[in-house]
Amino acid sequence: MYRPLANIWKFNFNSLKRCYQSSKALPDLTKDRYAVKRGDYATIDDNDIKHFESIVSSSRCITDTSDIEPYNVDFLGAVRGYSQVLLKPKTTEEVSAILKYCNSRKLAVASQGGNTGLVGGSVPVFDEVILSMQLMNKIEHVDETAGILVCQSGCILEKLEEHVSNCGLSMPIDLGAKGTCHIGGNVSTNAGGLRLIRYGNLHGNVLGVEAVKADGTILDLMSNFKKDNTGYHLKHLFIGSEGTLGVITKLAIACPTASKAVNVAFLGLESYDALLKTFLAAKRDLGEILSACELIDKLSLEAVLQQYKLNSPLSEYPFYLLLETSGSNMEHDEEKISHFLESAMERGDILDGTVTNETSKVARIWQLRETISTALVKEGYVFKYDVSLPLSHFYDIVPVMRERVGDLAYRVCGYGHVGDSNLHLNVSCAEFNQEIYKRVEPFVYEYTSKLRGSVSAEHGIGFLKTNYLKYSKQPEALNLMKEMKAVMDPNGILNPYKVLPRQN
């Protein structure tokens, strides 16, 4: 019997709304908050609506303002557009017909998956046509032996995990937004998440892509093989390009075998230094069974405990480390874990800890990590930074930032995928605040750049970080990106104002 991960650590995250919490006031329009200028695009008229209805039928061409609103505002409440039309295609051919028409009319398009993106990429900036992939949710095929899933891009990640787990497989990606985000959104952002340390990023796990170009051309780059060295590796253009080069309609994903033995340890530590030593020991002692390595600082855990009225299994420590192992033999894995924990405690690196393979306890421990993001959003507005930093300086920026924002913020905390050198630095406050904004940006990016880190480890560039891309990419690289955009989307209709630096 498999004990697939899906049944162990999945919470019901349906409460994660498609967008900003409805209880809060609507955020400012993006054009006002960030003073952006609308591009030279056409505006929608009645003939356009009639044409869209002829492609997707009137029931999937939505023009009612209140129905469109959740698609106009992002999850964080950081950006808001004012699109007047939302289209919900069901097939690749419909996507193709929509884009062909928009391209000929020079109508801008914002493609949208589950709208869980954290960089303002998923919603229109002005009045772009919203292309929701929500109804493109067919699972086409699972090859149990080869470990391959073929599905449409609008499938929800958690649904895919449930589906493949019935075949003894697992998805190579997992993240807190699993109940809402789409696999197409994951691939478009090259999302990282909680299992990257084990399975690597999506450039390695996406075997095939079907995508539609701005002019409506359907590109069939589907493949069921890990090995395919024929010509330019075009599928990679769509992985992580955040909908600016094409719309992903179908995917083939390599799915690893589901693990029969899953253990989770939640450890309390006195310092970041002790945490680093524990991470190194975990890599050496646990080796191939290590499947997650997450840092949580005291204030991040506090947010979760307060907002969700939860209890921690440990008393208070400056740092916590959540380690997960996934293997095929419980006895063997437990032996390794015991050896690792005993040695680390003897050395004094770990002060306290709990380890479990009981389904409900494993789930409760993961909940402490996975809900930090939503707990912070519940507190008000969050300035969110997702950076790659060298492990030797990984946490330094958190106290530096605390000092910079002082009492203006509720909370400055750090958590993240320390196993992959990816820190999530978060500054939460009552509402969007220009003074905090000025104190954190561009400081955080300059700081990251000096350490040769990345200004976006996994969330992407979207709308919010376009002006900071230069901190991680040289001018020559930016120019090549612009040239590629011009070749793939000469009229610039796909996700304008996103990824590439803006003129204003």
Q: Which residues here bind ligand FAD, judged by CB under 6 A? A: 75, 111-118, 121-122, 133, 153, 175-177, 181-182, 184-186, 188-189, 191-193, 242-243, 247-248, 373-374, 458-459, 462, 495, 498
Sign (positive or negative) of CA dihedral 365, 370, 375, 378: negative
Residue with smaller CB distance to ligand FAD, 160 or 350:
160
Helix (H) or strand (E) holding 332: helix 330-347
Taking the complex as a whole, how short is the minimal distance between the CB of residue 114 and ligand FAD, in angstroms? 3
How many Cβ atoms are within 10 Å of 488's Cβ, its own excluded? 18
Quick note: the x/- pattern for ligand MLT over 422-441, rule CB under 6 A, is --x-----------------
Q: By rule CB under 6 A, what count of residues binds ligand MLT?
A: 6
Q: CA–CA separation, 177 vs 428, rounded Å?
A: 19
Determine the residue with CB nearest ligand MLT.
Answer: 373
Residue with smaller CB distance to ligand FAD, 269 or 499:
499
Taking the complex as a whole, how short is the minimal distance between the CB of residue 458 and ligand MLT, in angstroms? 6
Token pair recorded at residue 290: 């290590």
Residue with smaller CB distance to ligand MLT, 197 or 372:
372
SS3 content of the chain, % helix, strand, coil (to 5): 40, 20, 40
Considering only residues 165 through 204, tell me which ones interact with ligand MLT, judged by CB under 6 A.
176
- Binding at 113: pick from ligand MLT, ligand FAD, none (beta carbon under 5-8 Å per type): ligand FAD
Q: CA–CA separation, 286 vs 280, rounded Å?
A: 10
Considering only residues 301 through 340, tell me which ones interact with ligand MLT, judged by CB under 6 A.
none
Quick note: the x/- pattern for ligand MLT over 455-484, rule CB under 6 A, is ------------------------------
Determine the residue with CB nearest ligand FAD.
Answer: 185
Taking the complex as a whole, how short is the minimal distance between the CB of residue 248 and ligand FAD, in angstroms? 4
Taking the complex as a whole, how short is the minimal distance between the CB of residue 294 and ligand MLT, in angstroms? 8
Query: What is the per-residue DSSP string for 335-392?
Result: HHHHHHHHHHHHHTS--EEEEE--HHHHHHHHHHHHTHHHHHHHHSEEEEEEEE--GG
Q: CA–CA separation, 107 vs 4, rounded Å?
A: 45
Residue with smaller CB distance to ligand MLT, 52 or 463:
463
Beta bridge partners of 423: 387, 416
- Binding at 170: pick from ligand MLT, ligand FAD, none (beta carbon under 5-8 Å per type): none
Q: Is 315 exposed, middle or buried (CB count within 10 Å of its CB: 0-12, 13-18, 19+)?
A: exposed
Token pair recorded at residue 156: 């929800």
Query: What is the per-residue DSSP string for 253-292?
Result: EE-PBPPSEEEEEEEEES-HHHHHHHHHHHHHHHGGGEEE
Taking the complex as a whole, how short is the minimal distance between the CB of residue 131 and ligand FAD, in angstroms? 8
Q: CA–CA separation, 95 vs 219, rounded Å?
A: 12
Residue with smaller CB distance to ligand MLT, 89 or 176:
176
Q: CA–CA separation, 82 vs 128, rounded Å?
A: 8
Residue with smaller CB distance to ligand MLT, 235 or 424:
424
Sign (positive or negative) of CA dihedral 170, 175, 177, 183: negative
- Binding at 424: pick from ligand FAD, ligand MLT, none (beta carbon under 5-8 Å per type): ligand MLT
Residue with smaller CB distance to ligand FAD, 192 or 419:
192
Residue with smaller CB distance to ligand MLT, 44 or 372:
372
- Binding at 122: pick from ligand MLT, ligand FAD, none (beta carbon under 5-8 Å per type): ligand FAD
Angle between helices 443-450 and 397-405 in degrees, nearest 10:
160
Q: CA–CA separation, 17 vs 19, rounded Å?
A: 5
Q: Indicate which single residue of 373, 428, 448, 456 sits in contact with ligand MLT (rule: CB under 6 A).
A: 373
Residue with smaller CB distance to ligand MLT, 191 or 494:
191
- Binding at 353: pick from ligand MLT, ligand FAD, none (beta carbon under 5-8 Å per type): none
| Residues 331, 230 contacting (CB under 8 angstroms) | no
Token pair recorded at residue 245: 């080069």
Residue with smaller CB distance to ligand FAD, 274 or 494:
494
Considering only residues 11 through 50, tell me which ones interact with ligand MLT, judged by CB under 6 A.
none
| Rg for the chain, CA atoms, rounded | 22
Considering only residues 87 through 126, tell me which ones interact with ligand MLT, judged by CB under 6 A.
none
Quick note: the x/- pattern for ligand MLT over 384-403, rule CB under 6 A, is --x-----------------
Per-residue DSSP letter, 208: E
Sites of contact with ligand MLT (CB under 6 A): 176, 372-373, 386, 416, 424
